[in-house]
Amino acid sequence: MKKIILTALISILTLPVFAAKVQEINIIPQPQKVEPSKGTFKVSGVSFNCSPDIDSLSKAKIMKFATRLSLRTGKTNSLAYPIGLEESLQNGKIKGFIFLKDSSMGEEEYSIDIQPKRTVVKAAGFKGYLYALETLRQLLPVEFNNDKEVAKVKWVVPCVKIEDKPRFAYRGLHLDCSRHFFEVSEVKKYLDIMALHKMNTLHWHLTDDQGWRLEIKKYPRLTEIGGFRNGTMVGKDFSSNDGVRYGGFYTQDQIKDIVKYAASLGITIIPEIDLPGHMIGALAAYPSLGCTGGPYEVAHVWGVMQDVLCPGKPATIKFLKDVLSEVVELFPSEYIHIGGDECPKVRWQECPDCQNLIKKLGLKSDEKHTAEQYLQSYVTSTVQKFLASKGRKIIGWDEILEGKLDPGATVMSWRGTKGGIAASKMGFDVIMTPTTYLYFDYAQSENPDSEPIAFPSKNLLDHVYSYEPFDGVSPEAQSHILGAQANLWTEYIPTNEQLEYMLLPRAAALSEIQWCKPEDKNWTRFRKSLEDFVKIYEACGYNYRKLD
């Protein structure tokens, strides 16, 4: 009898200990505020209740989420728009998912309050609900990401309160489709991966020496001729050519489709028309735009080419304005990226047309820059003014600082952080994309021979995660740092499978650089969360580099 009483007493004493246990919350990027509590919320078959004042795009996204949940669990999650939702919530009369509008929140801010009987989501608009749903996606069983019904799973989410918003307004990822071309479906898959990581800007590199990928109706030869090359170098042998014709391009209808798809994921696409260098694709199609008149051939090797556009010819400036006029009709983004990097001046030094323009403009070499560098500044300024007349702003690689840069330009710092630090000090807005941390075409192992072919430099996962965009930036200039972006150049990335391998899981590290305050970043916590996060990659069928 004493033994029975003792056993019962132990059970009673230990019960609160077990009841008080809360589930660990692993989310990437880490939200600003996370307060776990005991219990779970059952999601299968519960109703989705939306406040009537929520916009139609947000309702459509919530409905899509509810439909996916229904298909995975095998139980229907109905969607309703009850009047007096907040009052019913306060009275405790309503259960299930409850989506409310909170106009006091920022555009990308959201909150989630998961309790045993209900989950309340608040946001001001589309992007807030979008990121809330991405967070809920991580809290759900990983089977939510499969494309089949898995009703036997325990369909619950842990009770937790989350308040969240991003640190930086610009959270970018770059994709080079010039060196290697990726199909529409592959670009959309890339956008899906961005959405999972709460990124909001795709920098789309569409033109280069090795291929012009964007249909321009006024200049059809850009894609007919410039969109294809007669072979590609093999590996890292610059003297080689596989002899296989290679290329492709996006029609304007395909561009519109991709832009619309990106918008449905809260992602803006910024196109890059690289000028005045990296233009062999255009020169092969229209050789009169070059200083020598050609002939030119779309490049089959990687690197920097000596032949560039000839700004001394009026037809060149007209060409740029014509092209950009069509570009702004396709892309509604505030910014247009104009490149500006790696533009050799050898041809300009020897070109009578360029030298005559230099004299006409009164450009002279000084202790800082050559007359030819100031000539590039003239091209940049001309394009900037033209785009401003269309209501757009320019972004350029940090070389646009060489010479004179007009106010209103944004600098993308790629050659380390020095250019970005200098530009922010001068009052220019900056996006940090340093090779030293955020070039994802670099190897991701101490032993590059064990990895797919890549550039010889390396950016390991922990090194990427350690990057801080404000490092070296004075406090008074930090407001000019718009955000950070990783760049994925594709010289050595011929397939979508390899593209994903080079991107993942480093994109997860990038997402915390972009989203989290420095005090919320923690490598140990992140690395542990990543073990759960990569299960989503697997469920979605993404190819990623396995964790060391």
Residues labelled catalytic: 208, 278, 342
Instruction: Please enumerate, as own/partner, the contacts of 524-531 that have beta carbons within 8 Å and a separation of 24 or more.
Output: 525/30, 526/28, 526/30, 526/465, 527/462, 528/26, 529/26, 529/27, 529/28, 529/30, 530/28, 530/505
CB burial string 186-215: b at 16+ within 10 A, e below: bbebbbebbbbbbbbbbbbbbbbbbbbbbb
Distance (Å, rounded) from C-alpha 172 to C-alpha 268? Answer: 9
Closest CA to 192 of 271, 264, 270, 142: 264
Structure tokens, 208: 């280069």
Question: In this structure, what DSSP letter does residue 213 have?
Answer: -
Distance (Å, rounded) from C-alpha 468 to C-alpha 464? Answer: 9
Positive or negative torsion for Cα 101, 104, 105, 111: negative
Distance (Å, rounded) from C-alpha 224 to C-alpha 219? Answer: 9
Q: Which helix (H) or strand (E) holds 36?
A: strand 33-42
What does each C-alpha distance from 20 to 16, 37, 39, 462 come to in angstroms?
A: 6, 8, 9, 34
Block residue for tokens 């397939």 = 495
Instruction: Please enumerate, as own/partner, the contacts of 63-72 that have beta carbons within 8 Å and a separation of 24 or more.
Output: 65/133, 65/136, 65/137, 66/97, 68/144, 69/43, 69/44, 69/140, 69/144, 71/149, 72/143, 72/144, 72/146, 72/148, 72/149, 72/150, 72/153, 72/155
DSSP 3-state of 263: helix
Q: Find out whether 233 and 196 touch, Cβ atoms under 8 Å.
A: no
Closest CA to 501 of 458, 439, 467, 452: 452
Question: In this structure, what DSSP letter does residue 424 have?
Answer: H
Q: Find out whether 282 and 249 touch, Cβ atoms under 8 Å.
A: no
